Structures are given as C-alpha cells and as structure tokens.
Structure 1
Amino acid sequence: MAREDGDVIPVSIICHDLETLQVTWNPDPLARQNLSLDFRYGDHVLHSCPRYFLLGGFTSGCIFPSRAGLLEVTLRDGGGATVFSRRRPASVWLKPRPPWNVTFFWTLEAVTVSCPAHSYPGLDYEVQHRDPFDEDWQTTSEPQCNVTVGRLDPGRCYDFRVRAVPQDFYYGLEAQPSDWTSVTHWRGAAPAGDRTDGWAASCDSGHDSPRSSPLPLACGLAALLTLAMLLAMLWLRRVKDALLPCVPDPSGSFPGLFEKHHGNFQAWISDSQATALAKPEEGHDVILPRGKWAEPEDHPAPGELGSRALVSVGGATFRLDGSGYMTL
C-alpha cells in the first residue's frame, strides 16, 4: 500500500493478469460511514463500483474490469470528500497469474523448466530449486519460460517452484510477482550408462531427506499391530468359550466333600451314609435291595456298606460295585 500526498487512508490496488482491478482499504468503524469508489478509463464517463467487498458491515474494497488506457480511481467518504485518488495505467499495478502446464526435461546434469508464455511481454520467469540438504532456495531467472538449471544430480530428488515477475523498467515498482506454483518434487530418470532418457521422474518429498523421520510410520504400524493382537485375543476367547463350556462346581451338589473331607470321596460318602441312617426323617434314605446278597431287615453299619448297595446322598444316587461308586 503506497501512500502519496493527499491520501487520507492507505489503499491497495492490484491488476490481476491485466484482466481485473481489485482496490481494497481498511474501513474506519469509528467514522460509521461507507466509502464509495468511482473509476473511468481515459476521458470516459465515471462509473460507480459494480461490486463492493464488506468488512464489519462497511465497504472495504471493489473489483471491476481492467481496460487499456489511463485509469482514474477515486474514493470518497459519506460527505463526498475525496480520501484517495490515482490516475495511472492499470498495468502499473500488474500481478501476473502463476505459470501453468509447467514441464521438466533433464539432460546429463541439468533440467530445463518450460511453460506457456503469458499473453503480454515484460516478464521474467523465476525457477527456484533445492535438494533435501539445502536450507535456502536457489534461483535461476530468464525472460522466457524456458529456464535451464544446471549442476544437478539426476539421481537426487529436488523441489521446484516457478513464478512470473514483472520487469521493473517495463511496469514500474508497484507491480507484483505472481504467486509461486505449488512445490513439485522431481529427479532425472534412471541413467543408462552415462545418459538419461531426458524425462523427469516424480519422487516423494521425503526422498533422500534428512528432515524426514520414520517415527510416525513406525508408530502407526505398532498401533495397527497392537489392535490386530487385541482382536485376535478376543476372537480366541470367544472360540474357547464356545468349544469348552464352563465345568460346574461340584461343591454345590456335594456339600461337605471339599469343605470337610478335602475331596476324599470315600470319607464323604461314608459320613453322609452315617448321617442318613441316624436321621432318616431328613430325607436321606438308604435303599438296600432285597435278594440273596442282603436281608430285608439288615442294616449295614456306617462305613461298612455291602456290595452293590444303593446310596442316595446330596441329590444323587450312588451304587457301590466292588471297591468303587457309580452314579445312577
């Protein structure tokens, strides 16, 4: 924003690619008023701004078409007083658009950067490059968009960006360079003997770069591996539960077996039988089958059950067969 005598407020003017004029200013909220803009080319009739920008509810800019000839721009406050005025060619405020369709062609130790030329003269084309070990950009400039950058290693990856710069003697000091193109990453094609095929090959931005770090990738892989292990453990647990159901606790069905007799089944059943004989009214019946091996009125003493005796204890019926018990 250049200021001259008579300017009340700073104003920025940009002529985008000789096609559109953009005039911007900072509104004064304390003044509580909008500024109005008028413009004309040559001696034509004044035109009011066709499109205003607003900031905080007040006008802060205007955009209108660019034309050949002398441009007059006037800003007025709410009372009609002039707060800014200029009368110059629109090209004085030129800002070209960034280069487009940029191509890269490699020779043995150099790359040639090319792009279509703008439709108007008086521009320089700057190519900046750096390898992964450079902290600063290296600049090469030519008046045509056919710039050769030398002393490069075709096997190394380089960053490139390009812009168009208005020449001072052609447009003046208020013209601005274009924005940079997006940074691209290129290297020469794989050499065949002492030559390359000439075409640039795209490469990753982190190639040969000491600034890059494998830590984020390693952390991501570790997280994925941990998640996979947790899912596998959960799946195996479900399979185990399905194939191996829980074994019921026998202490609920045989009270006293573990608490009193520490799992000694012979002692437990003998004690249970003695209790049943002493207290038949509690529902623990001793069933002695009649036959040639047992008399109806005989009752074996506790701990001396006869062969093939039936015993009902703890909700289960057992038969003594030889020296072992079988559940019925």
Structure 2
Amino acid sequence: MPPPPASTMRRVFLPWAAAAVFLLGHANTSGKTKPGSALQLQVINFNFETVQVTWNTSAYAGINFTFVYKLDKKEEYRPCSSYILQHGYSAGCLLEVQRDGPLYFSIRNGTQPLLTKNLAISAYLKPRSPGDLSFQWREEAVTVTCSNLGYNDLQYEIQHKTVFDAVWQSAEAETCNVTVDSLDPEKCYFFRARVKALEFAYGSETYPSDWSEVTHQQRGELRDSCWENGLFPKFILIAGMVSFLTVFLLLLSLWKLHRIKKVLMPSVPDPRFSFLGLFESHQGNFQEWIKDTQNVAPLNKMEDGELECTPEDAVVVQPAEAETPKTVGMTSPLYPQMGEEEATGDSGLLPCQPPQGHGVVSLGDFTFVMDDNSYMML
C-alpha cells in the first residue's frame, strides 16, 4: 500500500503538535510537582512602579517559601529583597519595576519549585490615585481637572454628592478634565476622583485606583466640611425632637400606669387613724383596745339654748275616762314633768325643746316628738 501524501500527514500531525505544546506550556505555567501543590496568587502592578506578588499559604502552614524572579528572559533569577510576612512566614514579595514588560518568577520550597510562571505586569495594573484636583465653576456646572498619568488608555471618574444624597453620582472622561453639570451653587458638594484602566487595552484583571481625598466645595469656594452647613443642624433638630417625644411618652406611660394601678389595686386606709391608740398603746390588740374605749366615748355637745335629753324610757299614755278628765302622766325623760307643769300652770320651767328632724305623733290634744329610741304604749 503506498504511503499517505505529505499534506495529509501535516494535517494529522499539526493538531497533535499543538496539543502537545499546550500541555507542556500549561505544565510549565502551573509548575505542579504533585497534586494539590499549586498556590493561589494575587499580582498587583502599582502604577508601573512596584509589583506585589502574594500567595495563600493556608495549605502550607509553617513553611517559608523562596521567591526568585527576573524581568528579562535572558537574565538569571535573583532572590526577592523585600518579603511580605504573615504570622512570621513569607507570604509575598515586593518588586521594583520601571517600565511595562514581562515578569518571570518561581516560588520554591527550599530547592524544589512549587510554581513557575511568567506574565505581563500591565495586565494587573492599578493606577495611582489622582491628586491636586482643581475646580472651575460657571453657573450650574463645574470642571474638575488634575494632572494626567504618564500612560494612555485610562478613564478618569469624578463623583459628587451633597449631604442629602444617599449615593454618589459619577461623570467620566478619558482625560482628567471632567465637567459636572446640573449643580446648585448654594449647596455644599463632596467631590472625589479615581482612575481606571480600560479593559480593551489592559485586560480584565486590572484594579481601579484608590479614591482621592474628598474635597468640599460651595459657591466656588473650598470648605473644610459640609456637615456643619447641612446635616449637623438638621441632626440636632431631629435628635432634640426625638428626645422630647421619648421623655413625653415615658411620663405619659408612668401616669397611665399609676392610674391603672390605682383602679386595679385601690389603696387600703390605715386603721391607726380611725382607731386611736390601737397600735400605739395596745399593739393592735382590738379586744384590749375596746375594753378601754367602750365607756369613754365622747358625748356630743349641744348647741346653746338646747337642753340635753337622752331618751331611755318609753312614753306611757293612759287614756282619759269619759266622765272625769285626768292629767296624762309621761314617764319619758324627754318630758319628765310635763303633766304637772301644765296642771299648775307654772310657766317658769320650759320643757326640753323637741329635737329637730324626728317623728311627730298626735294623739287627741297631745303632740309627741319621737326619736329612734322611743315608743308609745296605749
């Protein structure tokens, strides 16, 4: 059978060759010497001035790794001169760079390499934070400018808000000359800025810069703070109203609680004020107290012009005979000698004045005033 054509052999060989190159490159990049030995890396290029490479050592606790690197493929590896330590063990390295380019490095455990890798440091760019912001106001707009960084394909972001805004509002431009519209010159604004690397030029692994220091502007003038002009007085007012309302509700609750307690549990009168001497002289023994006080109850004083009368006996009335009229005698102490006085006609002695507010009984020509303790026998 004749051998296959050369073109057919190339078509069969090239896919296999490409796969072999890919696997070799992947093995060289990962640098795995055994399963589970790979480290988790983080690389940050600080404005093409310093590169920070850190690794996670949680799977290799208590081991000091060695970091060697070179910036040119033809150079020899050199050891890291500035390690980053974590719990006393190496966890990263800081490298001084001066330009964009490749970085070749290897992380080793003693002489055994755990990871060998090369990368472009621009893919991990973190620009420097913009500084020296300048503000040019014109009516309801302001233009913010600053010094551009020394490389291109960047985006400058300016954010602003007032003390009454919950979120920041952004404006962006490819140079540090950003205009913000629709502002109120009477309000005090917060401004801050940062720089981002464009993804189409640097990739998706870049980092935005840190925010610049917040600047306060009002009526085109620099302010130390916006809180004193806006939120602080409002905060004092709200806090005062809340405190007053809290105290008022507390007092109202206490008053309501006192009334409810008074209704549910009325106060019991103190017997010491109704029974004098019960507790002072007799230590609360009511039987002893009543023996001493039952015969010494104070008498009610009579008003001037009234005679003291105590009804004890009943009024006895005997009916007169039809032929011979006789004097009716009363044995009640209310009228002790009424019959004799009327018979003799002695007007020198006046009978007791009948008490006011008692019952009146009429019998023939006689009228009697009765109280609760009197009765009549016929």
1:104 Cα offset (Å): 1.1
Within 2, Cα distance between the matches of 1:212 and 1:182?
25
Q: Is the 1:132–1:210 contact (alpha carbons within 8 Å) kept by the matching residues of 2? A: no
Within 2, Cα distance between the matches of 1:217 and 1:185?
25
1:134 to 162, 165, 170: 165
Gaps of 5+ in 2: 1-28, 33-37, 241-378
- Counterpart residue type for residue 213 of structure 1: F
* Correspondence for 1:21: 51
2:107 to 75, 95, 98: 75
- Counterpart residue type for residue 9 of structure 1: L
Q: Residues 199-248 of structure 1: CA distance to partner in whole angstroms, max 9, x if unpaired?
A: x4325321223796237999xxxxxxxxxxxxxxxxxxxxxxxxxxxxxx
TM (norm. structure 2) is 0.50
Q: Residues 180-205 of structure 1: CA distance to partner in whole angstroms, max 9, x if unpaired?
A: 0111211224xxxxxxxxxx432532
Matched, 1:59 2:80: no
1:31 Cα offset (Å): 4.2
- State which structure, 1 or 2, has the greater radius of gyration over its C-alpha atoms: 2
* Correspondence for 2:185: 154
Q: How many residues are aligned here?
A: 204
Q: How does 1:229-240 map to 2 (within 5 A)?
A: none
* Correspondence for 1:213: 235
Matched, 1:36 2:82: no
> The residue matched to 2:123 in structure 1 has which SS?
helix
Q: 1:93 to 1:209 in 2, by over 3 A?
A: same
Q: Residues 136-155 of structure 1: CA distance to partner in whole angstroms, max 9, x if unpaired?
A: 11011100000000000011
Within 1, Cα distance between the matches of 2:91 and 2:30?
21
1:30 Cα offset (Å): 5.3
* Correspondence for 1:276: none
Higher helix share: 2
> The residue matched to 1:135 in structure 2 has which SS?
coil
- Counterpart residue type for residue 214 of structure 1: I
Q: 1:30 to 1:145 in 2, by over 3 A?
A: closer
Within 2, Cα distance between the matches of 1:108 and 1:15?
41
Q: Is the 1:132–1:211 contact (alpha carbons within 8 Å) kept by the matching residues of 2? A: no
* Correspondence for 1:86: 117
Within 1, Cα distance between the matches of 2:63 and 2:170?
47
Q: Residues 65-119 of structure 1: CA distance to partner in whole angstroms, max 9, x if unpaired?
A: 1243221122222351323x43222111111111011111111111111100111
* Correspondence for 1:109: 140
Within 1, Cα distance between the matches of 2:137 and 2:107?
52
Q: Is the 2:123–2:206 contact (alpha carbons within 8 Å) kept by the matching residues of 1? A: yes
Q: Percent identity?
A: 35
Matched, 1:98 2:129: yes
1:17 Cα offset (Å): 0.9
TM (norm. structure 1) is 0.57
Matched, 1:172 2:194: no
> The residue matched to 2:231 in structure 1 has which SS?
coil
* Correspondence for 2:80: 49
- Counterpart residue type for residue 138 of structure 1: Q
Q: 1:92 to 1:115 in 2, by over 3 A?
A: same
Q: Is the 1:126–1:162 contact (alpha carbons within 8 Å) kept by the matching residues of 2? A: yes
Q: Which moved more, 1:204-213 or 1:157-166?
A: 204-213
Q: Residues 275-325 of structure 1: CA distance to partner in whole angstroms, max 9, x if unpaired?
A: xxxxxxxxxxxxxxxxxxxxxxxxxxxxxxxxxxxxxxxxxxxxxxxxxxx
Q: 1:59 to 1:166 in 2, by over 3 A?
A: same
Q: Is the 1:127–1:161 contact (alpha carbons within 8 Å) kept by the matching residues of 2? A: yes
Q: 1:151 to 1:51 in 2, by over 3 A?
A: same
* Correspondence for 2:152: 121
Gaps of 5+ in 1: 190-199, 219-328
Q: Is the 2:215–2:222 contact (alpha carbons within 8 Å) kept by the matching residues of 1? A: no
- Counterpart residue type for residue 225 of structure 2: D
- Counterpart residue type for residue 205 of structure 1: C
